[in-house]
Structure 1
Amino acid sequence: AGLPPSSFGIHAFPSFFTSDLYGFPFHPTSNNDYGPYWLKAASHTFGMPIDPDDILPPDEQVIAHVAKKLRSLLPALHNAHLVQVDSCVYDVSPDEGFILDRIPHDPRIVFATGLTG
């Protein structure tokens, strides 16, 4: 939060993706409490295999890495402050590709997995 609208508004700021970080402007809707000049940024890195039913607290090292890299990429973020942190768990195939196939004994059934976020 606290980003200048001329640089970080929904119509001024594009999405970005680096080898381990991505981000985009967050548009407020009636369904959320997000401000009009907020940026969502996340680390696209992998940890250990987990049980999806486990509740994981955000990793402070990942938060520090994302903040440091964001400020390096976008110096205007130097004075921005962190509003919310969440852990996002998703399935990832070994090569990060999608898996889309049919069940051999019934070609009417299609499955997809490894959706990488």
Structure 2
Amino acid sequence: MAEPLHPLTVAAKQLYVVHYKDITKFEDEILRLPLAGVEAIIASGDLQVTSEYDVYLFVLKWARSQYPNIENRRKIIMNRLVKLIRYPYMTYDELREFLYTMF
């Protein structure tokens, strides 16, 4: 059943990536997107942000809005989203803040 929907899913993800390049400009809309849409957006090489730390902060905000239960939120962040953040583009202070927040 999922196989016929695959092209539609791919097209929807591409639409998200093209339309929501700037996560700060469309934050309210993106906060309502499902996990797959957020993954596609933050994994995109065309993402337009001033800092990768902005991506990290957005991930936290999105997860809080979608997953009120802290354990579920932590699982989603750690298993699906944390690997999409580009840590080499963060400053030392940003990385330190990340480590204190996550662990």
Provide the TM-score with structure 2 as the length reference: 0.29
Relative contact order, CA 8 A, sep 6+: which one is greater? 2
- Structure having the higher strand fraction is 1
- Structure having the higher helix fraction is 2
Structure with max Cα Rg: 1
Provide the TM-score with structure 1 as the length reference: 0.26
